[in-house]
């Protein structure tokens, strides 16, 4: 069953359209690690979680209602057993005795009593089976929707979000949090609801049998309520802490494993071990605290349940001796009294998973409340094939609410120009080109491609017209051909090979164990940094954008591979608009124009020859490069 098309995709994030949305400090993931929430803040988060559940439940609303009806009927039937037994003893037995004494047959009475019991047992059993099956279907459908929703949403959040939220936290949302929700939805909810129903019906049956005994039950409920409330308040706080500590543990784990090269290069293993152990111990302590709480609750419930049965027996027993209470009623009261608190333990046990699922739901709903800062225009201006003229006007940019990185500037890059961007580290070169790829939006001012504001283009047109190749040259799992065709999945084999040939990647790809079909994750398919770079050039060549951005794409390569890459690079540039951030002289030399960036401003702008002649920063850099060439570094 594929439910993906019906995945809830509300036009809003949960919680963004409500009048109670008065907690901007908690919007999205901001309040995630806070343990000191005010009452209003707690309410805000709880409402957001409920709205998410409601969004998920909407597509399966009728199945949920049917399940609830089955739960009610099945538990009513279960709770009726003691009543039937009382009726069998107090009416059925005397009836059988008198019928037999009158010389008749007791078959009819036995059939009525036995039949009623059997009907109740069958109803309870069959409905229990049916609602368990339905619950599994409903919960799995809701989880599938949520899983897909979280993935789609997280993938669409802007870079700005991912840079601060870290992949470890995203992973813990998608794994441990969804796992807690699965546990709750699979078994927790049906056990909770069915346990509550059973208690309610059983308590009602006690009142029907004998209201005085019902009063004893009411008294017993006082300590039970106090104990449950005590547990509820404390475990809520502990669970909140345990979610935070488990997320920290996962974040550290993911960070260590994703940065394993740096970890080994800097011999960080011991320090990382210690930190991980500290975080894991904190998580263990939180879990132990929560189990201890349950260790207090459970005996309280068991003791109260047993004392209630004793009280019912004493109170009822004397009345049976007096003849004011029927034996069958006493037996039924004892049976019901013993059973009434049984679900309480189950309810309390599932309350733990309910707590952890609530905490998980709070975090997941926070993640879903986050909105991309870089958004697609409502009515995009079509630009299927751009020429590649770029223009910044009065442009200002700073990351998030932080300081201004690029103060007001104007810059025009005509279509087809190859521009090298140089400058000291931290000068703002990457920032400048990331704005052109629209990873971020300007704080103010305008940036246009062929006269159209970048934020008015559709994502599809933008990605077709502007392609950025970064230093890391990321390869996705799959074949070399699939990796080249990333920007144009419909490309034919011939087009893929032509692109590889154009950038000089064809020969080494053919030498791979399975040529273009080699899996890049397999041993034989592991590519060197230069080869990966060439694959990403082929990818960009095939995508054939009007504007190409190369962010330090050649800086980390050694000489032989750089020569290879350099040749591919020249063919890739062709006559499209290109911005190249380069630390290498060889790359700068192929540029028509050089921009020297310093403290977020373009301080020099001209052809390489002009800038060398003018004797400014570029001339200085150029001199240093020349010297390094002489000393054999390049
Ligand atoms: N994601 C970010 N969030 C906040 N500040 C950032 C972010 N990325 C860069 N910066 C800041 O912006 C400034 C410019 O950084 P940028 O990466 O553009 O420099 P660069 O010239 O490309 O440097 P390098 O040559 O070292 O890559 C730096 O002060 C940096 O600290």
Per-residue DSSP letter, 90: I
Max CA separation in the chain (angstroms): 130
Q: What is the mean pLDDT of the chain?
A: 84
Going from the N-terminus, what domains does the chain have, and what CATH number goes with each?
37-369 (1.20.1560.10), 390-473+545-630 (3.40.50.300)
**Does residue 149 carry a pLDDT above 90?**
yes
Contact 554, 585 (CB under 8 A): no
222-246 confidence digits (pLDDT tens): 998 898 888 888 887 887 788 788 8
Measured in Å, residue 445 CA sits from the centre of ligand 1 at 20
- Beta strands (DSSP E) in 21-113 are none
Q: What is the pLDDT of residue 283?
A: 94
Say if residue 516's pLDDT is above 80: yes
Categorize the per-residue pLDDT at 274 as very low, low, confident or very high, splitting at 50, 70 and 90.
Answer: very high
Q: What is the pLDDT of residue 2?
A: 36
Distance between CA atoms of 441 and 464, rounded to whole angstroms?
18
- Consecutive H or E run containing 506: helix 506-510
pLDDT at 557: 56
Q: Does ligand 1 have an atom closer than 6 angstroms to the CB of 164?
A: no
- Report, as an integer, the average pLDDT of 330-337: 89
ipTM: 0.96
Q: Which two tokens stand for residue 168?
A: 């470890």
Q: How far apart are CA 264 and CA 451, in angstroms?
A: 49
pLDDT at 623 over 80: yes
Q: Which protein residue's CA is at the shortest distance from atom 25 of ligand 1?
A: 425
- Residue 303 structure tokens: 């003791």
Stretch (H or E) spanning 121: helix 107-156
- Name the residue with the closest Cα to ligand 1, atom 4: 399
Residue 562 pLDDT class (50, 70, 90 cuts): low
Confidence of residue 123 (pLDDT cuts 50, 70, 90): confident
* Listed range (325-334, 458-467, 567-576) with the worst mean pLDDT: 567-576
Q: Is 399 near ligand 1, meaning CB less than 6 Å away?
A: yes
| DSSP result, 356-386 | HHHHHHHHHHHHHH---SS---SSPPP-SS-
Model confidence band, residue 190 (pLDDT cutoffs 50, 70, 90): confident
For ligand 1, what atom is nearest to the CA of residue 402? 4
Residue 452 pLDDT: 92
Relative orientation angle of helices 107-156 and 61-79, to the nearest 10 degrees? 150
Determine the pLDDT at residue 45. Answer: 86
CB neighbours of residue 440 within 10 Å: 19
Indicate the pLDDT class of residue 449, thresholds 50, 70 and 90: very high
Residue 581 has pLDDT above 50, yes or no: yes
Instruction: Using alpha carbons, select from 235, 229, 184 the residue that is nearest to residue 350.
Output: 184
Pocket test for ligand 1, best of 401, 429, 470 (most atoms within 8 A of CB): 429
- Under the banding of pLDDT at 50, 70 and 90, the label for residue 276 is very high
User: Parallel, antiparallel, or unpaired: how do β-strands 390-398 and 466-470 relate?
Assistant: unpaired
For residue 51, the model assigns a pLDDT of: 93
Start-to-end Cα distance in the chain: 59
Residue pair 180/353 in contact (Cβ under 8 Å)? The answer is: yes
471 lines ligand 1 (CB under 6 A): no
**Phi and psi angles of residue 146, each rounded to the nearest 5 degrees, phi first:** -65, -45
pLDDT exceeding 70 applies to what percent of the chain?
A: 92
Tell me which residue has its CA closest to atom 3 in ligand 1: 399
**Residue 73 Cα to chain centre, angstroms:** 37
User: 427 in ligand 1 pocket by Cβ < 6 Å?
Assistant: yes
Task: Tell me how far apart the alpha carbons of residues 233 and 222 are, in angstroms, rounded to a whole number.
Answer: 17
Q: How far apart are CA 519 and CA 497, in angstroms?
A: 16
Confidence tier at 357 by pLDDT (50, 70, 90): confident
Q: What are phi and psi of 401, to 5 degrees?
A: -95, 10
Would you place residue 7 in the very low, low, confident or very high pLDDT band (cuts 50, 70, 90)? Answer: very low
Ligand 1 near 426 CB (within 6 A): yes
Predicted pLDDT at 8: 45
DSSP-derived 3-state class of residue 425: coil
- From ligand 1's centre to the CA of 399, what distance in Å? 9
Q: Is 112 a residue whose pLDDT tops 60?
A: yes
- pLDDT value, residue 12: 42
CA angle 568, 571, 573 (to 5 degrees): 105
Residues 6+ positions from 236 with CB-CB distance below 8 Å:
355, 358
Ligand 1 centroid to 427 CA: how many Å?
A: 7
Q: Report the side by side order of strands in the sheet with 404-413.
A: 404-413, 390-398, 444-449, 452-453
Binned at pLDDT 50, 70 and 90, residue 166 comes out as confident
**Any ligand 1 atom below 6 A from CB of 439:** no
Q: What's the 581 CA to ligand 1 centre distance in angstroms? A: 13
pTM, 2 dp:
0.75
The confidence score (pLDDT) of residue 14 equals: 45
371, two tokens: 């909105």
Is the distance from the beta carbon of residue 429 to the nearest atom of ligand 1 less than 6 Å?
Answer: yes
- DSSP string covering 571-628: HHHTTSEEEEE-SSHHHHHT-SEEEEEETTEEEEEE-HHHHHHHTSHHHHHHHHHHHH
Max mean pLDDT range (33-37, 170-174, 478-482): 478-482
Per-residue burial over 21-49, b if 16 or more Cβ lie within 10 Å, else e, is: eebeebbbbebbeeeebeeebbebbebbb
Mean pLDDT of 185-200: 82
pLDDT tens string 380-423: 888 878 899 999 999 999 987 778 899 988 999 999 999 999 98
Report the pLDDT value the prediction gives residue 145, as an integer from 0 to 100: 93
Local confidence band at 494 (pLDDT 50, 70, 90 cut-offs):
very high
* Residue 492 pLDDT: 93
**389/580 Cα distance (integer angstroms):** 16
Question: What residue has token string 């283009």?
Answer: 457
* Mean of pLDDT values over 27-37: 74
């Amino acid at each position: 069953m594929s439910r993906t098309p019906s995945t809830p995709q509300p036009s809003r994030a949960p919680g963004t359209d409500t009048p109670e949305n008065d907690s901007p400090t908690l919007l999205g993931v901001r309040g995630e690690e806070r343990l000191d929430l005010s009452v209003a803040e707690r309410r805000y988060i709880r409402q957001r979680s409920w709205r998410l559940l409601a969004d998920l439940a909407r597509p399966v609303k009728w199945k949920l209602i049917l399940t609830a009806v089955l739960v009610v009927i099945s538990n009513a039937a279960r709770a009726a057993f003691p009543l039937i037994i009382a009726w069998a003893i107090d009416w059925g037995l005397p009836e059988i005795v008198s019928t037999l004494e009158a010389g008749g047959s007791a078959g009819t009475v036995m059939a009525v009593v036995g039949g009623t019991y059997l009907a109740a047992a069958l109803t309870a059993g069959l409905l229990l089976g049916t609602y368990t099956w339905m619950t599994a279907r409903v919960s799995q459908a809701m989880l599938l929707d949520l899983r897909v929703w979280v993935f789609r949403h997280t993938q669409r959040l802007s870079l700005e979000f991912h840079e601060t939220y870290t992949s470890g936290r995203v992973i813990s949302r998608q794994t441990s949090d969804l796992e807690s929700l699965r546990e709750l939805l699979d078994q927790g909810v049906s056990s909770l609801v069915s346990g509550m129903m059973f208690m309610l019906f059983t308590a009602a049956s006690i009142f029907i049998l004998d209201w005085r005994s019902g009063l004893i039950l009411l008294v017993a409920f006082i300590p039970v309520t106090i104990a449950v409330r005590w547990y509820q308040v404390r475990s809520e706080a502990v669970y909140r802490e345990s979610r935070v500590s488990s997320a920290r543990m996962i974040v550290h784990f993911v960070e260590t494993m994703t940065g394993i090269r740096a970890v080994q290069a800097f011999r960080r293993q011991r320090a990382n071990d210690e930190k991980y152990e500290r975080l894991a111990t904190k998580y263990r302590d939180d879990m132990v605290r929560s189990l201890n709480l349950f260790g207090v609750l459970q005996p309280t419930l068991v003791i109260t349940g047993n004392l209630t049965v004793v009280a019912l027996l004493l109170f009822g027993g004397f009345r049976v001796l007096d003849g004011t209470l029927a034996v069958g009623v006493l037996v039924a009261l004892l049976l019901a009294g013993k059973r009434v608190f049984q679900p309480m333990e189950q309810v309390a046990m599932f309350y733990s998973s309910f707590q952890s699922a609530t905490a998980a739901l709070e975090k997941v709903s926070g993640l879903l409340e986050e909105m991309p800062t870089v958004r697609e225009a409502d009515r995009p201006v079509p630009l299927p094939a751009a020429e590649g003229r770029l223009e910044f006007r009065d442009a200002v940019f700073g990351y998030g609410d932080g300081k201004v990185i690029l103060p007001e500037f104007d810059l025009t890059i005509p279509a087809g120009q190859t521009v090298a961007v140089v400058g000291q580290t931290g000068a703002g070169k990457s920032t400048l080109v990331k704005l052109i790829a629209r990873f971020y939006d300007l704080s103010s001012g305008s940036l246009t491609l062929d006269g159209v504001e970048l934020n008015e283009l559709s994502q599809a047109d933008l990605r077709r017209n502007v392609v950025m190749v970064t230093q890391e040259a990321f390869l996705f799992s799959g074949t070399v051909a699939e990796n080249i065709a990333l920007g144009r999945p419909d490309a034919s084999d011939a087009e893929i090979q032509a692109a590889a040939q154009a950038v000089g990647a064809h020969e080494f790809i053919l030498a791979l164990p399975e040529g273009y079909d080699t899996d890049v994750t397999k041993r034989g398919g592991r590519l060197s940094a230069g080869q990966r770079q060439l694959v990403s050039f082929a990818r960009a060549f095939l995508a054939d954008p009007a504007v190409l951005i190369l962010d330090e794409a050649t800086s980390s390569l050694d000489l032989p591979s750089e020569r290879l890459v350099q040749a591919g690079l020249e063919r890739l540039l062709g006559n499209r608009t290109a911005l190249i951030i380069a630390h290498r002289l060889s790359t700068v030399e192929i540029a028509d124009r050089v921009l020297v960036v310093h403290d977020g401003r373009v301080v020099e702008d001209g052809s390489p020859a002009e800038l060398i002649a003018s004797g400014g920063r570029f001339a200085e850099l150029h001199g240093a490069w020349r010297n390094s060439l002489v000393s054999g570094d390049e």
